[in-house]
């Protein structure tokens, strides 16, 4: 069976990640991806997990008790460079709102683009940013359009940008952008 969106998003990270890698969960949410990333990199790796909401970080901390590689950061992913200097292997984004949380608090174009730009700089050559785009909420279409325009104009010398999408699904089904930094790009 063709891999569905959530499974493919994980596979795209898993394919390139090794123990002890530095990883980013750019949208901590309830912590499911943070837990997944921490299990990949192991106890001596590092996962930076960003969220602006206390609820998200508290839920994620409960879910990941005992996983010592995780550093939770209560700040916008748009400030990633304030906390991380280089050598990131992979990063995940789940755009939209906190599941079961306040649906009016969503990721937004400006900060999403800023975060993607910063994290792309932080990636090692061959590193990946995987973005699951949820665009059914009110700001979602604008964020999707802005992101798509931004990514479609990224230089091929800098990165490849893959779109993985099921085109015959209803209700603004989520899809994936995967940005892979060029082997020859500066890290």
Sites of contact with a copy of itself (CB under 8 A): 1-2, 126, 148, 151-156, 159-170, 177-178, 180, 183
CB of 125 to a copy of itself, least distance (A): 11
Q: Which is nearer to a copy of itself, 55 or 164 (CB)?
A: 164
Order of strands across the sheet with 123-133? Answer: 70-74, 46-51, 22-25, 88-94, 123-133, 175-181
CB of 167 to a copy of itself, least distance (A): 5
A 10 A CB-CB count for 23 gives: 26
Q: Which is nearer to a copy of itself, 79 or 172 (CB)?
A: 172
CB of 164 to a copy of itself, least distance (A): 6
Q: Which is nearer to a copy of itself, 40 or 178 (CB)?
A: 178
Residue 89's H or E segment, with its range, is strand 88-94
A 10 A CB-CB count for 101 gives: 14
Residue 75, phi then psi, degrees to nearest 5? -160, 170
In sequence order, the 6+-apart residues with CB closer than 8 A to the CB of 144 are 133, 135
CB of 143 to a copy of itself, least distance (A): 16
Q: Which is nearer to a copy of itself, 101 or 113 (CB)?
A: 113
């Amino acid at each position: 069976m063709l891999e569905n969106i959530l499974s493919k998003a994980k596979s795209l990270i898993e394919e390139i990640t090794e123990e002890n890698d530095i990883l980013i969960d750019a949208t901590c949410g309830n912590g499911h991806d943070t837990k997944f990333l921490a299990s990949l990199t192991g106890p001596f790796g590092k996962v930076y997990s960003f969220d602006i909401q206390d609820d998200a970080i508290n839920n994620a901390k409960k879910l990941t008790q005992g996983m010592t590689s995780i550093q939770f950061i209560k700040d916008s992913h748009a400030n990633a460079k304030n906390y991380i200097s280089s050598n990131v292997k992979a990063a995940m984004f789940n755009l939209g709102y906190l599941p079961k949380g306040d649906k009016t608090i969503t990721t937004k174009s400006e900060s999403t683009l800023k975060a993607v730009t910063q994290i792309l700089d932080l990636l090692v050559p061959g590193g990946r940013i995987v973005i699951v785009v949820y665009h059914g909420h009110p700001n979602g279409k604008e964020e999707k359009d802005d992101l798509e325009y931004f990514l479609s104009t990224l230089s091929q010398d800098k990165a490849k940008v893959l779109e993985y999408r099921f085109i015959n699904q209803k209700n603004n089904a989520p899809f994936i952008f995967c940005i892979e930094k060029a082997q020859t790009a500066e890290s």
